[in-house]
Amino acid sequence: MKLDYIDALRGMAILSVIWFHCHLEHFSNTTFYSLMDTLGSPAAIGVQLFYALSAFTLFLSQDRRKGADIQKTDFFYRRLFRIAPMYYVAIPYYLWQMAYFYSQPLSSVIRYNAYGIMANMLLLHGLSPVWINSIIPGGWSVGIEVLFYAMVPFLFTRITNLNRAILFTALTLLGGFVLTSVLLHVPAIQNSQLLVEYLFYYLPYQLPVFGCGIVAYYVVIRKERCVRPWVTGFAVSVVAFLILSKTVGQTVLPNLPHTLHLFGSIGFAVLIIVLAKWPSQLLVNRVTRYIGKVSYSAYLTHFGILYWLNKVLPKALIPVTSTLTNVINFHLKFVLILVPTVLFSSITYRLIEEPAQQVGKRFLRRRKDRALPAAVEINQ
């Protein structure tokens, strides 16, 4: 089943991510930066759109294979062949870029980051505030995604309807916010910027984002509409609690975690549901679908392209004399970064991602073929 709106939403997610990282690089004139800064905050949650879409498609994949005669570990092999090859290609490149940036021998950079490299190779870097972004810029999102993968087979057997999906999302929303709020008030954590940043990245604070994707799955794919009144009441109460904590509560408890990505993810669930029913040509079209197809490669490569173009592009492509010319200047540079990112990602998608997935499919077929004689022998 080809879901064009899913690819299109992936395209919009990576466009948002690239836009935000261009914004962080200040491809603009700071004198007229207020508008860009305002727009930059919503663009920061493009990764959360990826997460919601991931949960949606993973539950769909599990549902399709529910009655098939497959081994439980096949799910993890499929995910490994999907994300690891491109990630493993990115690791040596960004180590080299790091060595270039710090004017250090590559061997020294490798020795210094030995444990971080090992954690990234094992795809377990999401467990550590030190390793989560230690090698690949933005690698935190892949680390958290992998931790969610580990939960999917179990969650699929427990979250079996829309009511349970809403409850899971509301509970993780509440639990993640409370846990993070408590940890942010621990003096040792408050005094470490690394730990404070990790409390945004870590799985407990991102888990309700995945939950929103699961909710969308039950509405769109399973066509479920009936929600029990007490489930609705609990979910609304949790959202109301978060809103109050960020308004009235901030006068009592400062340093509460920000919640933009949480509320944005609720909006993403609505967006998935709406586009599934009414796929607007403005959003679901050939361009957004294609960018979505190469979005994983684009995510891993755009940091490098951004780094090098930042070195060669002038601060102003046009004279910046007002907010309008500042916005135009910024978006000209955004396009100059987006185009080579899509082109380069198309190459890596064809040369790395697609062949790796084909290897994975052949591996699983051979694995299944080897398992069949053994199963027949046992039955006899």
Burial of 311 (0-12, 13-18, 19+ CB in 10 A): exposed
pTM of the model: 0.94
Burial of 72 (0-12, 13-18, 19+ CB in 10 A): exposed
User: How far is 141 from 298, CA to CA, in rounded Å?
Assistant: 14
CA dihedral 172, 175, 177, 178 (to 10 degrees): 180
> What are the respective helix, strand and coil percentages of the chain, to the nearest 5?
75, 0, 25
Q: Which position has the higher pLDDT, 374 or 349?
A: 349
User: How far is 286 from 162, CA to CA, in rounded Å?
Assistant: 32
Q: What's the pLDDT tens digit per position in 314-335?
A: 888 999 999 899 999 999 999 9
pLDDT confidence of residue 376: 44
User: How far is 133 from 137, CA to CA, in rounded Å?
Assistant: 6
Work out the mean pLDDT of the chain and round it to a whole number: 92
> Pick from 265, 208, 196, 295: which is nearest to 42 by CA?
265
Q: What's the pLDDT tens digit per position in 255-306?
A: 889 898 999 999 999 999 999 999 999 999 999 999 999 999 999 999 999 9
CA dihedral 140, 294, 261, 141 (to 10 degrees): -10
Q: What's the pLDDT tens digit per position in 216-232?
A: 999 999 999 999 999 99
Burial of 314 (0-12, 13-18, 19+ CB in 10 A): exposed
- CA distances from residue 224 to 2, 182, 228, 236, 361 in whole angstroms, order as listed: 21, 36, 12, 19, 32
Burial of 34 (0-12, 13-18, 19+ CB in 10 A): exposed
pLDDT confidence of residue 41: 73
Dihedral sign, Cα of residue 301, residue 307, residue 311, residue 316: positive
Q: What's the pLDDT tens digit per position in 231-251?
A: 999 999 999 999 999 888 888
